[in-house]
Amino acid sequence: MNITLSQKPLIALSLIVAPFYFSQNKAEEALKKFEENYPQEKIHLLLSKKNYVAGENLWFTSFVFDGYSPSTISTNVFVELYDQNKKQISKKIYPLINGKGSGSISLPADLKENVYYIRAYTTWMGNFSDDFNEITPITVYNPSSSEKLIKNTSAPWVATVSPESGTFIDGINTKFAVRLQSKGETPTNWNGFITEIQNPQTKLVAFKGLDQNTGSFSFTPIAGKKYQLTIEDDKGAKQIVTLPEVASSGLNLQVQSQSDAIKFVLKGKNINQNNKYKIIGTINNQLVYKANVSNISEKTYSIPTNQLVNGILNLTVFDESENIVAQRLCFVQPQSLKLKQPSLKAISLSLKPRDSNSFNINNDSSISSYLVSITDNESENPENENNLLSTLWLTGDLTSKIYNPAQYFSKNRNTDALDALLISEKWSRFNWQTIMSGTFPVIKYKPENFLSYKGKATKLGKPASEAEINLIFKMPDQGIKYNLIKTDKEGMFTLSGLIFEDSMAFSYQLNGEKTNKNSVQVYFQPAFSFLPLRSNLPFSNYTLVQRNSTDTIPIEIERAVANKSSQTSLREKETLIEEVKVKAQKKDLTKKLNNELSSPLFRSGNETIFDLVNENQSAQGSQNILQYLQGRVAGLQIQMQGGNYTATHRGGPMEFFLDEMRVDAGQISNISVSNIAMVKVIKGNFAGSFGGGNGAIAIYTRRGGTTGSVVDTTLPSNLTEIKLNGYDKEIPFNNGIYDEESARSVPEDKRSILYWNPYLESKPKEPTIVQWYNNDDAKNFRVMIIGFDENNDLLYYNEVLK
């Protein structure tokens, strides 16, 4: 026997030399090409909660993996919302940083009660089957809908039966997996037994189902006899399934996944002892194990697991012609999941309504940020059915429906049930026969670099060939930025690596030439696109029935409806508080500006200040400052007489000052409004007056510093402005809901999401503090913490704090 092991990080063991080698290596060569050129991404969407009410906001964090590590292939994630009829309701695009992104969806208030679907994918995933898109069903309740959702417990179920490694051979004791499927819910309690078809009264083997997906049994068949499996649930529903025909010869692969090793045995019947076989083991489409076997002796072989990752191992047995004779999936070390755990310290919990709670995450310098979610544990946990672990290790690579896959990675997991499940599955990422024949996926979509746009420049209607173009961007809060690009012979160019939200305005100019603005045109087209959903939506476990006026609303939905009303009230209060804060802040800033610009001689208890630095931006549209002041101060009259401005207050003339020097009105009217920082209208006597008792208009110019130097942010008039669409803007989640005492006046607080932060920064030398506020009646808290260290090892915490 010859055993070779891959030198990749998955496993690194020694090479054992054997007396012969396989003459063909098509399988290995095809696998290497597939692994190197067709990496596979998968997505997990972690939702802020499980059930929603129409009109609520839905927050999510997307985790994109390349195999079992955060993906660096894609930098954008596309998220769409569909109804049952595959009609698209919403679509969003968000950036991915090291395989992680976050966003939000506002559910329309008029959504009818039903199950809806969130689809998430990357452009690179468009090169492969849509079956690997993340499609997450969400229940959206609406008490005003004429129909209501109920669990579908009456849908029929069907059973299939699969022999281990796909072979059923005379005289070889064989393990079978039984798999249940349904458009609704599969039964929790069910059992089965095996009989001969000719003798259905005699039970050969009986067993009980392991869970709502699988059951298993073993027995030894006899050639020439036919067998059937009878399955019955606790409601009396029954199904009979015929077992495969018993083969008189063949090879059977039997596998056990133990904590220290994957152990397997090859058993044969009526086969040529000179036959040679090749066994290939792959994890995540990578070769991790190879064995050449020349003698089927029922010897037990071992693949040590100490350097393997958790994941699905795909074992395939080939004959000398590289035909598949047996195949089996198993999970590596289901008994010991390799996960990091955070250390929580200084836990301070209170059960008082709306009180503050906190804990610290002990410093871990290898982790830069965490996702932290805290919910009232009375609400359903969105990670209960399919969580990050089950997507990463199971459902992300399999396309069949699995009921409650998260159970296989919980503390009380049933490893026998997981093994039975994998006997009934086939590896879905590639097909050996397909890739060995040289047929590989067609790569239609290349990975993008964040937001990319294709552009074309024309001059007088013809391509601006090999030209230099200045793109002038108006960046929010950053002023104007310039970007020089060069076109090719066809006038084409590409902008890539853009990261901005909403939209960004820019203008363009052909470099080195003064041309009419209409002679040069630049056209843009996104180099990224939303992809149509080619596959069908999955079946849901719910059905709609007519709503009656006497129906009671489920408590969780009742709470969500009440909370939506309270949150609307709270948002209105927050808006009002914010307006008051902004006004107060502007008052403070204006007071500071007045102190900096005006001397004590020009201060009065009877003054009106116009702050053009921090507010009153509308003044920029006035022809001059005197025109702007007209009608804005009680009793102030500004008139034009003989080409000159005059100002009077209550009929008496007012003086004019420019930076506290007396000037005439002509000098004031000629100053550009953009150069003015502050205007002060002083009524009556004041210390700086030259004897006039009717007051003055004092103009203060910008001088840098607080007032800001005058920067002309206008673009040349011969430039055309264009807008590019950017990433969708995520609705901010309010973790500091009661930071303002006035917010506590809302009538009731029934929030289920108490804290949501996809990017909580990890402190390098101190604990990371998590602080949140109670709702009105929380008794314990569901805490989720997720992060990746510098080696891409996963930290996963999903526990209840009491």
pLDDT tens for 189-231 read: 999 999 999 999 999 999 999 999 999 999 999 999 999 999 9
Domain 41-139: CATH class, spelled out? mainly beta
- 727 forms beta bridges with 501
Q: Start-end ranges of CATH 2.60.40.1930 in the chain?
A: 41-139
Pure H helices in 354-465: 388-390, 415-423, 432-436
Q: How far apart are CA 469 and CA 512, in angstroms?
A: 9
Tell me the pLDDT of the chain averaged across its residues: 88
Of 408-412, 608-612, 653-657, 745-749, the range with the highest mean pLDDT is 408-412
Which of the pair, 29 or 707, is modelled with greater confidence?
29
Q: Residue 80's closest CA among 756, 728, 733, 541?
A: 728
Per-residue pLDDT at 327 exceeds 70: yes
* C-alpha torsion sign, points 181, 187, 189, 195: negative
Strand partners, 176: 163, 217
pLDDT at res. 17: 33
Closest CA to 393 of 799, 800, 798, 794: 794
The structure tokens listed for 36 are 């190197």
Q: Tell me, letter by letter, the H, E, C secondary structure of 262-324.
A: EEEEEEEECCCCCCCEEEEEEECCEEEEEEEECCCCCCEEEEECCCCCCEEEEEEEECCCCCE
pLDDT band at 798 (very low <50, low <70, confident <90, very high): very high
Decide if pLDDT at 585 tops 70: no
The pLDDT score that the predictor gives to residue 7 is: 35
pLDDT tops 70 at residue 774? yes
Quote the pLDDT of residue 576.
Answer: 57
Q: Which of 666, 533, 486, 680 is nearest to 599 (CA)?
A: 680
Q: Residue 151 pairs with which residues in a beta bridge?
A: 542
Residue 164: helix, strand or coil by DSSP?
A: helix
Report CA-CA distances (Å) from 10 to 37, 284, 287, 311, 762. 18, 9, 9, 10, 29
Give the C-alpha separation, 538 to 509, whole Å. 51
Predicted confidence at residue 699, as pLDDT, reads 92
Beta bridge partners of 755: 374
The pLDDT, as a whole number, for residue 198 is: 94
pLDDT-based confidence at residue 690 (cuts at 50, 70, 90): low
pLDDT value at position 475?
61
Quote the longest CA-to-CA distance of the chain: 125
Average pLDDT over residues 779-787: 95
> How far apart, in whole angstroms, are the C-alpha atoms of residue 527 and residue 112?
35
Bridge partners (DSSP) of residue 286 are 283
Where does the pLDDT of residue 479 fall: very low under 50, low under 70, confident under 90, or very high at 90 and above?
low
Confidence of residue 572 (pLDDT cuts 50, 70, 90): low
Q: Residue written as tokens 């798999």?
A: 179
**Position 693: which residue type?**
G
Confidence of residue 515 (pLDDT cuts 50, 70, 90): low
Average pLDDT for 114-133: 97
CATH superfamily, domain 2-37+249-332, is: Immunoglobulins (2.60.40.10)
> 12: pLDDT confidence band, cut at 50, 70 and 90?
very low
Distance set, CA 126 to CA 121, 319, 650 (Å): 8, 35, 75
The DSSP result for 221-265, as a single string, is --TT--EEEEEEETTS-EEEEEPPPPBSSEEEEEEEE-SSEEEEE
pLDDT at 469: 85
Share of residues in the chain with pLDDT > 90 (%): 61
Per-residue pLDDT, 1 = 46
Give one word for 522, left, alpha or beta, with left for phi > 0 and alpha for psi -120 to 50: beta
**Sign of the dihedral through C-alpha 282, 413, 178, 129:** negative
Where do the CATH 2.170.130.10 domains begin and end in the chain? 614-701
Q: What's the Cα-to-Cα distance from 280 to each of 23, 247, 306, rounded to whole Å?
A: 15, 24, 19
Pairwise CA distance, residues 647 & 656, whole Å = 9
Average pLDDT over residues 640-653: 81
Q: Give the contacts of 695 (CB within 8 A, at least 6 positions apart).
A: 606, 649, 654, 655, 681, 682, 683, 684, 685, 686, 689
pLDDT at 574 exceeding the cut of 70: no
Given this model, what pLDDT does residue 674 score? 82
Nearest to 255 by CA among 202, 352, 334, 200: 334
Distance between the two ends of the chain, CA-based, in angstroms?
56
Q: What fold is seen in the domain 614-701?
A: Ferric Hydroxamate Uptake Protein; Chain A, domain 1 (2.170.130)
The closest alpha carbon to 644, from 672, 619, 658, 664, belongs to 664
Q: Residue 570's pLDDT is what?
A: 61
The CATH classification number of 451-531+717-725 equals 2.60.40
pLDDT tens sequence across 546-561: 999 888 887 878 888 8
* Angle at CA of residue 630, ends 644 and 597, nearest 5°: 90
Q: Identify the pLDDT of residue 98.
A: 92
Which pair of tokens denotes residue 126? Answer: 């468009």
Question: For residue 726, with 0-12 CB atoms within 10 Å meaning exposed, 13-18 middle and 19 or more buried, which class applies?
Answer: middle
Q: What is the DSSP string of 667-704?
A: HHHTS-GGGEEEEEEE-S--TT-SS-SS-EEEEEE--S
Separation between Cα atoms, residue 378 and residue 748, nearest integer Å? 17
Residues 440-467: tens digit of each pLDDT: 999 999 988 999 999 998 888 889 999 9
List CB contacts of 180: < 8 A, sequence separation 6 or more: 157, 158, 159, 186, 187, 190, 209, 212, 213, 214, 231
3-state SS, residue 90: strand
Give yes or no for a contact between 379 and 779, defined as CB atoms under 8 angstroms apart.
no
CA dihedral 367, 371, 377, 378 (to 10 degrees): -170
User: Could you tell me which residues are beta bridge partners of residue 442?
Assistant: none
Does the pTM surpass 0.85? The reply is no
Residue 20 has pLDDT above 50, yes or no: no
Which pLDDT score is estimated for 640? 80
Among 169-173, 371-375, 490-494, which stretch is predicted with the lowest mean pLDDT?
490-494
